[in-house]
Structure 1
């Protein structure tokens, strides 16, 4: 067991964070409690290869998060560092929204929008692989169906924790899935092939998702875009939910384009190219721009 605390910024808003992690009402891999007394997330993850539950409890003042890593094996220093990073990701602490708020303070659209949506933050997935695979599963289907696919994926390949929660699969775990096991559970063959292709490339070391001086984000993105079935939207989503990158352009996202139409008074959604041009005005803060556009449709918790 490893205890640690994370300070929360002043004015921290937790609702969207909790909603994001509560997408699966079956609570297969995570449990979210949201009551006047208790605001808590329990998430089963792999620290190294060890099943662990990250238990995040927020005090009523929302001044800090009290976290515990409950592992099925001793926790070493590297695992402690990983646990802290995961908890901060899940709480949306890697992107400070203040820079975007200052950037759009006088913007005729985002100025009033951010004033209405104060405190909005971007929850991240517990791992880059989870963000990528969620994006692949969610391509061109509704959120409820995507959640059901995610649930099947976890059941097929996730390692159980002693608490009963199931850890989100690692690339190596996912690579061992038979494609028929996925297609028999409502995965399209194309989606299943993309998922397994990515898992195999990661498990074999042909693609490395860890950013380093020798492996830049540009290099990682290029490698991902070369994978059949993975396009710019999936990569940008992974940058947003996996890496906490501050300047992701989600111009290909249907909900983002619908929000642009609503807020700019267009009769129809703009084309992908037109949305890209509009969002370019908000560099280098396009991630927060996308988050506020999602939230304007009350969709922020679904993506």
Structure 2
């Protein structure tokens, strides 16, 4: 591999590669990347070229990016866009100083920010993937959701092969928009979720729903309204997408079962916390509800 295909990406103070790779490695049913020998391998699409990138830790603590394979030749423009993708994926442009300061005085978060210090809110930069993953995961356990996603990806996605393995890209909206409902239900997706995925794909294709519209929204409430106008997207799904794809700091999926279980365990409650209890907690995490949620989710991987 030529040296121009390997470069460093600067990271903010407090970033810990090992803490982030531990999180990624714990999602051992994930099909969108692989963690092998302390390195993350992921396929991404940049300007209609598929790149297989490898992320590792440089000696100085920065991220080291290596393009191990691509479907077309590699250019300096590709390097810039791959770097932007990595920065977005690991949320490297968010300053966590205020979050850590707030968490030091919070009964639930003060221990977590020491235990998982350096963990970033690892996102889902692909808009259609983020919405699809949220819809797939509605009202089912996480293990089964991962199985359904893998079936969808391996049936309709694109892959790049390297070193005996396949690395997958999430199916594009134009593919899913033209899939019969029966093909999706054959994967064990419910009929309703199958219809939702197809409808969302078509809305993205015709421009009724776009990343640009959400980025231009005037705050969380307007962005939530834009999303929930579409069938299959309720408040929980909207907040999940706004948290994982758009980095709204105050996105707060209070109906999330994992988040409720984490709080139930930490608060030693006999039953899951009420909506009012969750909102009261969230008011103390103002503008950091997304990171608080992510750190609380992290306790479930222990």
Distance 2:293 2:238 in 1: 14
1:97-141 Cα shifts (integer Å, max 9, x gaps): 321111232233322342333223211124222222111111111
Q: CA deviation at 1:279?
A: 0.9
Q: 1:8 to 1:213 in 2, by over 3 A?
A: closer
User: Are the equivalent residues in 1 in contact too, given 2:8–2:63 (CA < 8 A)?
Assistant: yes
Q: Contact between 2:43 and 2:50, CA under 8 Å: does it hold in 1?
A: yes
Query: CA deviation digits over 1:8-67, x for unaligned, max 9?
Result: 344433355335544675775422114xxxx211111221333222221223x4611111
Q: Which residue of 2 aligns with 1:65?
A: 63
Among 249, 254, 257, the residue aligned to 1:251: 254
Structure 1 gap segments, 5+ residues each: none
Cα distance in 1 between the residues matched to 2:301 and 2:13: 24
How far the C-alpha of 1:187 sits from its partner, in A, is 0.4
Structure-2 residue corresponding to 1:193: 195
Matched, 1:266 2:264: no
- SS of the equivalent of 1:4 reads strand
* Cα gap change, 1:94 to 1:75, in 2 (>3 Å): same
**d(CA) in 2 for partners of 1:5, 1:56:** 10
- Say if 1:87 and 1:202 are closer, same or farther in 2 by CA, change over 3 A: same
Please give the alpha-carbon distance, in whole angstroms, between the structure 1 residues aligned to 2:259 and 2:269: 13
| 1:220 to partner: Cα distance | 4.2
Shift of 1:85: 2.2
1:47 maps to which residue? 46
Determine the structure 1 residue equivalent to 2:298. 295
Question: Is the 1:9–1:63 Cα contact (8 Å) retained in structure 2?
Answer: no
* Structure 2: stretches of 5+ with no match in the other structure: none
Matches of 2:138 and 2:230 in 1, distance apart? 15
Against the structure 1 CA distance between its residues 112 and 25, is the aligned structure 2 distance closer, same or farther, given a 3 Å change threshold? Answer: closer
TM-score by length of 2: 0.85
Partners of 1:157 and 1:169 within 8 A in 2 = yes
289-298 or 139-148: bigger deviation: 289-298
Q: State the distance in 2 between where 1:204 and 1:19 align.
A: 39
* 8 Å CA contact 2:29, 2:147 repeated in 1: no
Q: Which has the larger displacement, 65-74 or 147-156?
A: 65-74
Q: Does the 8 Å contact 2:242/2:251 carry over to 1? A: yes
Corresponding residue number in structure 1 for 2:36: 33
- Distance of aligned partners of 1:216 and 1:41 in 2 relative to their CA distance in 1, 3 Å threshold: farther
Root-mean-square deviation (CA, aligned residues, Å) is 2.7
What is the Cα deviation at residue 266 of structure 1?
Answer: 2.7
Displacement of 1:202 after TM fit?
Answer: 0.6
TM-score by length of structure 1 reads: 0.85
The corresponding residue for 1:7 is 10
1:276 maps to 2:274: no
Shift of 1:211: 5.6
Give the number of equivalent residue pairs: 294
